[in-house]
Amino acid sequence: MKKYDIVGIDMPNVDLAVNLRKFPRPNGGEPIRELSWQGGGKIASGLVASARFGAKCAVIGAVGDDLYGEFCRDDFLRHGIDVSSLFLREGKSTGLAVVLSDEESMGRSICFHPGTAGMVREEELDGELLGNCRILYIAMFNELTAKAVKLARAKGAKILADADYYQENVGRMIPEIDVFIGSEDMFRRLFPGREDVEACCREIMERGPEIVVFTFGEKGCKGLSADGFFALPAFPVHAVDTVGAGDVYHGAYAAALIRGFSAEKAALYASGVSAIKCTRIGGRAGIPDFQTLERFLSTGEIDYCEIDRRVKFYENPFQNRLK
């Protein structure tokens, strides 16, 4: 059985990213500035960031046996991610998200069709795969992931949770999580009216996690581990599209831990990956490799040579092939 650094569970989909100068009013129109077809999904895109960071990854999930499902599978393979537990559902469809971003507001709006492939079923979870990974990477807090967590923890895997949005079972699963990374929205939901991030992180750590981090968008991130509390600013870049910024942060953080980085250094590198991603459209095209990231962290310069080849590929991936 192969051993993996990171295994993630998700419902992969296709993102049609559309960038506009400004969002049109009702009954109005606006020229499209840039259009890109990319793989989507929180954990799915995070795994791509992990793989580009050098981690050996595998995905668990399901897609339809349609063109979009084949594209999702091929995009994982393109980034070296194992798809042996990505199920192609016969006669089912893959989800599609139309992601509209605009320069005027720097916001985004998402129209989502979930498809009919559904989530991987509990009986389809590969116990050997889950038992041969160093980190299990999750973003859903339900019975399926609870079972996967149990299987992975029994073999010594760490659990990293992308707690981007509040879910009813998140509190119940916190004791089973080793690395808890939450969004600003999650922070506000868990600790309404409170501003002492360190104290709030400590409360979560007391329930089980070894590392707790909260991301605050352009305000940076703050976290706590056995090494102490840290606060890092966001990197100043010319942002084009923030779609997937949190997803790739989590994936890069997981891969940084695999490399043996401290909690704070992992946050620094994850912030760099997220910043560079935001300079290109969509959730995946702008994800840097490790060498590009290190150059950015040391010089502030971004080498777009390899990145922009992928940007070009994603303009029409159904006809092109990445060389």
pLDDT along the chain (323 residues), means of 10: 91 95 89 94 97 97 96 96 97 96 83 95 94 96 95 96 90 95 96 96 97 96 98 94 93 98 98 96 95 96 95 85 43
Give the bridge partners for 215, in sequence order: 183, 221
Question: Inter-axis angle of helices 263-277 and 245-258, to 10 degrees?
Answer: 140
What is the span of the domain harbouring residue 62?
A: 4-26+33-314
Query: pLDDT tens, 73-123?
Result: 999 999 999 999 999 999 999 999 999 988 888 778 899 999 999 999 999
Q: Which segments within the chain are labelled E, that is strand?
A: 4-9, 13-20, 32-40, 57-64, 82-89, 95-102, 108-113, 133-138, 158-163, 179-183, 211-215, 221-225, 228-232
Asked, for residue 323, whether it belongs to a domain, the answer is: no
Asked if the structure places residue 144 within a domain, the reply is yes
Predicted pLDDT at 108: 81
Say if 322 falls within a structural domain: no
Task: Give the chain's domain count.
Answer: 1
- Residue 168 lies inside a defined structural domain of this protein: yes
Average pLDDT of the chain to the nearest whole number: 94
Phi, psi angle pair for 84, to nearest 5°: -65, -20
Closest CA to 60 of 98, 86, 89, 33: 86
| 319 belongs to a structural domain | no
Q: What is the pLDDT of residue 322?
A: 42
What does the block give as tokens for 31? 């020229």
Give the helix ranges, DSSP H, for 102-244. Answer: 127-130, 143-154, 170-173, 184-190, 197-205
CATH code where residue 294 lies = 3.40.1190.20
Q: Of 125, 168, 169, which Cα lies nearest the Cα of 150?
A: 125
Q: What pLDDT does 135 receive?
A: 98
| Residue 307 within any structural domain of the chain | yes
Let me know if residue 134 belongs to a domain: yes
**Assigned domain for 206 exists:** yes
pTM for the full model? 0.94
* pLDDT at position 321: 46
